[in-house]
A and B are shown apart, each in its own frame.
Chain A
Amino acid sequence: MATSTVPGPGAPATLVGKAAYEVDDRLIVAGPVRRTLNKVFPDHWSFLLGEIALYSFIMLLLSGTYLTFFYDASMKEIVYEGSYSALRGIEMSAAYESTLDISFDVRGGLFIRQMHHWAALLFVASIVVHLLRIFFTGAYRRPRETNWFIGVALLVLAMLEGFAGYTLPDDLLSGTGLRIFSAVFLSIPVIGTWIYFTVFGGDFPGELIIGRLYILHVLIIPAVLLALIALHLLILVKQKHTQFPGAGRTEHNVVGNRLFPTFAAKATGLLFIVFGVLAALGGLVQINPIWQMGPYNPAQVSAGSQPDWYIGFVDGGSRIFPPWEIDLWGYHIPPVLWGALGIPGIMFTLLMLYPIIERKLTGDTASHHLLQRPRDVPVRTSLGAMAITAYLVLFISGGNDVIAERFDISLNAMTWAGRIGFLVLPPIAYWATYRLCLGLEQHDREVLEHGIETGVIRRLPSGEFIEVHQPLGPVDEHGHGMLAYGGASVPKKMNQVGGARRAIRGFFKPIEEPAAVQLEAEQEARGLESEQSHRQLTGSGRPSEGGRPSEGGRPSEGGKPQQEPRA
């Protein structure tokens, strides 16, 4: 007797449904997949910054794989006979020759090479911007310290990965960078020469370093990066995303969109935007034109030799550090050690340990899932502004010769501006940011207490003129608002609480007629008037009735947000 399965109630009828049923019958995945697809992600534009880094990394893997088909990581000396005439007959390494071939003779090679390089610059840049968002909103606080540590490790690895890739073409620019790198190794007391000979396997540049950097660049560091990124995301999913405070958002829930379809659609859209920007750059803007630089030759060096931007601050540190030659216990410590290893070492150590430092200083060991607005934590925000200022001074100093040349400034003046700026500007940035934070906080509290300035001037019977304020909530007997500040953005303009008609929809250009919106607003007001005997001055609902505006001060558009509890 055939035991054919009789379709019960709710059994799949379509082909896709049947196929999915068959899969689930064998793998039992319906439950986990449903849970995953229903996962709620909070919605804020700044939560997409890390995704840019992720998509740049995907682009790096794809384009990098194509480049490995043609690249030859060998320092064997050969004579170029390829299609670029200005180098024909010149001796060069096989690595440089194969990079020239990728640029001129491989179909699509130059485009892919440029896209790969731009993606590398974007990868590190988006990591930095993402890190700043995490820092300034306090998203690294317990329980997310682990992900902060992983993130900082990812940044350092991304920089090393980028430096290794920058060196692979073995052109005159990257060779100069490698020479500086070797000098930094040599500057380390006691173990410097040992490290140097371990890495280079002989006198500079030797015949090994390109092959070694290649394995680091295409195998070891990408594997570690991939593993850490996976861990980073798994922890994120497990811990659930943080959210900004707002109506209905608590420490115990997550308000946002489900992974499928809304979040998935947005993520896919962003993937294509990132790929599009990178493809546009790769096709339209030239990057690292190695044929203009020539093959590496230790006897040659060029003015304006710079590393890629993310190593620029290390270069800047070495450039502005005073030429102090220090002898300690018979060991010589050259100034390049402080500039190139000391400053970045201190910087990354502080960055890595910051969550622990803050926990120790504030004594705050509680778990936090709601983010903080930067103004509400003035000390942290000001420390961040101070660090950014110091970093920018180093970063600009890294290109000080190009800036001096382009803007006709003395290079010595640039160097001294960097030295003085590195010491003087960060405290000024701290002070200014601190005052800004306090000012913004006070204004928020003032609006909560006294209401929004309406711009309506009223003359009292006594002859006195006053400006009418719109309270944001219930008021006490003195007319002061009773709403407490909850860490969310406070509306400061009447049209943010519906005082004027709502904003015209459309980001790039209006997609509806202003007149129609006006009409709609008037009808709504008339409806309210008929049912409401007592109206507030503006005729609009209170925030509790009209709904809170979104973070950007724009009324939210579209469907209602989803909510799920935190586990």
Chain B
Amino acid sequence: MSTPNASSVAPAEGRRRGLRRLRPEAGTPAAAARDRRRSKRSRRLANVAGLMAALVLTGVGYSALAPGASAADDSTGNPSNAVEAGRELYVRSCITCHGSNLEGVTDRGPSLIGAGEAAVYFQVHTGRMPLVRQEAQAAERPPIFSEEEIDQLMAYVQENGGGPTLPSGDLRDGDLAEGGELFRLNCAQCHNFTGQGGALSSGKRAPSLAEANDLTIYAAMLHGPENMPVFGDNQLSPDEKRSIIDYVQTMKTSADPGGYGAGRVGPVAEGLVIWVAAVGALLFGIFWMGTKA
């Protein structure tokens, strides 16, 4: 549970589960036995009072203890509530294609053993998973799970499959120029110089990095989604990954000093501008002059 959201998830979950546990009325049998010889009326009153007291005590006691108990669960690494909740989400949304034991299903989805929480974060946070339909490549869209639920899924997959974990700290803590050089060497051949993305074969594509946040880029490098190769820590050290992220995010926010950037796609957009804007304007201009005979 290294993600920042984990601790805020657990209390709410615990309270919901606590209410369910109250229903068996744990404290009542002993009180009933002690008062069996009393009169029916007083016995009935005592029953009700005892029941009420027990209920109140149990409820108060549980609500006082529960947060501490769930926090202890997290710190000791026992199967936590997050993992349990993640399992429920997994069974509901992922099991059809990834199998009941993360082993994958032929022609539907790959095994998640060894995928790790990085893969879950990337795929679910960018809305690629759950998959809309089987096609060349999963489409990016707004995530359908909340941040909490993504954390729970991450916990479940990490717990049962293992694999790369997400980093923590400032992911832009790197050298800008070195990041640029590494980006051009490792990333630009698919994602383009400016991270605009590019076409691959048969409808597959390297997506634009315009919407990608630091953690998404890092997670993608760690697990190599779809057609992307894995850039493990042996190929690109964590420092180098941070440099690349620094470069990508800096370039995205940097202004275009030359004016309107035309989508930063290069000569194709420039050709469009010269033919539509410039030749169009000049044809209009000479037609106008032509009427001034």
Contact = CB atoms under 8 A, between A and B. Distances in A.
Interface string A119-159: 00110011001000000000000000000000000000000
Contacts of A550: 291, 293
Contacts of B258: 103, 110, 114, 285-287, 289
By CB atoms of chain B within 10 A, which of A87, A277, A299, A409 has the most? Answer: A277
Contacts of A301: 188-189
Contact of B193 (A285, A292, A556): A292
A293 B183 CA distance: 11
Interface stretch (A31-39, A216-224, A397-405): A397-405
Interface string B239-272: 0000000010011001011111110111110110
Nearest to A287: B270
Given A273-B285, A302-B184, A405 B199 contact: yes
A43 B290 contact: yes
A270 interface: yes
For chain A, the bracket of interface size reads: 35 or more
Interface in A272-301: 273-274, 277-278, 281, 283-289, 292-294, 297, 299-301
Contacts of B256: 286, 289
Nearest to A559: B293
A356 interface: no
A306 B293 contact: no
A294 B279 contact: no
B150 interface: no
B192 interface: yes
Contacts of B264: 289, 292
Interface string B86-114: 00000000000000000000000000000
A104 interface: yes
A361 to B, nearest CB: 31
B2 to A, nearest CB: 31
Nearest to B246: A86
B57 interface: no
B180 interface: yes
A90 interface: yes
Contacts of B176: 85-86, 88
Contacts of A308: 267, 270-271
A300 B199 contact: no
B260 to A, nearest CB: 5
A281 B177 contact: no
A45 interface: yes
A257 B290 CA distance: 12
A283 B178 CA distance: 31
Given A270-B289, A507-B291, A561-B293, A293 B268 contact: no
Given A122-B279, A281-B278, A410-B202, A173 B193 contact: yes
B172 interface: no
A401 B198 contact: yes
By CB atoms of chain A within 10 A, which of B176, B199, B259 has the most? Answer: B199
By CB atoms of chain A within 10 A, which of B180, B206, B278 has the most? Answer: B278
A23 B136 CA distance: 79
B293 A557 contact: yes
Interface in B191-219: 191-194, 196-203, 205-206
Contacts of A95: none
Given A45-B287, A300-B188, A86 B180 contact: yes
A412 interface: yes
A12 to B, nearest CB: 33
Contact of A85 (B136, B177, B257, B265): B177
A283 B259 contact: yes
B72 interface: no
Contact of A405 (B177, B205, B251): B205
By CB atoms of chain B within 10 A, which of A257, A283, A399 has the most? Answer: A399
A118 interface: yes
Given A103-B257, A309-B267, A309-B270, A303 B286 contact: no
Contacts of A413: 203
A89 interface: yes
Interface in A378-412: 399-406, 408-412
Given A45-B287, A45-B290, A125-B275, A293 B259 contact: no
B144 interface: no
Contacts of A452: none
B181 interface: yes
Given A49-B286, A118-B278, A557-B293, A306 B268 contact: yes
Contact of B257 (A110, A278, A403): A110
Contacts of B192: 302-304
Interface string A71-91: 000000000000001111110
B190 interface: yes
A307 interface: yes
Given A292-B194, A294-B193, A558 B282 contact: no
A410 B203 CA distance: 4
A307 B278 CA distance: 19
Contacts of B254: 86
B23 interface: no
A121 B270 contact: yes
A45 B282 CA distance: 11
Given A125-B278, A303-B192, A294 B266 contact: no
A412 B292 contact: no
A50 to B, nearest CB: 11
A359 interface: no
A269 interface: yes
B10 to A, nearest CB: 41
A318 B250 CA distance: 36
Contact of A121 (B202, B271, B293): B271
Contacts of B277: 281, 285
9 contacts: A52-B286, A90-B180, A121-B278, A286-B257, A292-B193, A302-B193, A399-B267, A411-B200, A411-B202
Question: What 8 A-B pairs come out closest when comparing CB atoms?
Answer: A303-B198, A45-B290, A286-B258, A309-B271, A410-B203, A404-B199, A121-B274, A306-B267
Interface of B: 136, 176-178, 180-181, 184-185, 188-194, 196-203, 205-206, 247, 250-251, 254, 256-262, 264-268, 270-271, 273-275, 277-279, 281-283, 285-293
Given A48-B289, A86-B247, 7 more contacts: A118-B274, A277-B285, A285-B277, A288-B266, A303-B192, A312-B268, A552-B291
Interface of A: 43-46, 48-49, 52, 85-90, 103-104, 110, 114, 118, 121-122, 125-126, 129, 172-173, 257, 266, 269-270, 273-274, 277-278, 281, 283-289, 292-294, 297, 299-309, 312, 399-406, 408-414, 507-508, 550, 552, 554, 556-558, 561
